[in-house]
Amino acid sequence: MGEPVLYQSKIVNVAFGENVKVVEPVNIYGCAIGDNCFVGPFVEIQKDVTIGKNTKVQSHTFVCELVTIGDDCFIGHGVMFINDLFAKGGPARGDKILWKETKIGNNVSIGSNATILPVTICDNVVIGAGAVVTKSIDKPGVYAGNPAKKIKEL
């Protein structure tokens, strides 16, 4: 029987702002995290991600490449960001030109276990727990469901 190749979670090549708190274990690399942020355990933040100041990223969240998160945001437990829409019927498999960007505005709260496809979300939005955001959101409010729809004004 063969032996597996083992990798350790780590923090590599990250531009941290002032007063950032990180609870290990995490896998964070090639990204920028603003002042006064919090990153919980079992989080992965990949390269080319930018997270604004005063943002909390709770445990078990996955932030893939090409995601920008604004200031004063809350990313709940187990939130999954997606950058590959399987445009050719399956994973891009290294063809990063098929990946898409996600932009999250300021003062956005995303509830636990939400899934965020490549979209733009404007400022002052709440995404309900378990929601699946499949289309860009350009008006403040509360959005929930699968697919996420506006259910309340803020």
Give the span between the Cα atoms of 37 and 89, in whole angstroms.
37
Q: Is 97 helix (H, G, I), strand (E, B) or coil?
A: helix
**Structural domain count, the chain:** 1
Give the span between the Cα atoms of 2 and 12, in whole angstroms.
29
- Give the domain CATH number at 133: 2.160.10.10
Tens of pLDDT, residues 48-94: 999 999 999 999 999 999 999 999 999 999 999 999 999 889 998 87
**Full domain range(s) for residue 133:** 11-152
Taking the complete model, does pTM exceed 0.75, yes or no?
A: yes
Tens of pLDDT, residues 7-26: 999 999 999 999 999 999 99
Please choose, from the candidates 69, 62, 19, the residue with its C-alpha nearest in 3D space to the C-alpha of residue 40: 62
Asked whether residue 5 is domain-assigned, the answer is no
Asked whether residue 103 is domain-assigned, the answer is yes
Asked whether residue 6 is domain-assigned, the answer is no
Give the span between the Cα atoms of 55 and 36, in whole angstroms.
7
Tokens of 95: 């063809």
Asked whether residue 3 is domain-assigned, the answer is no
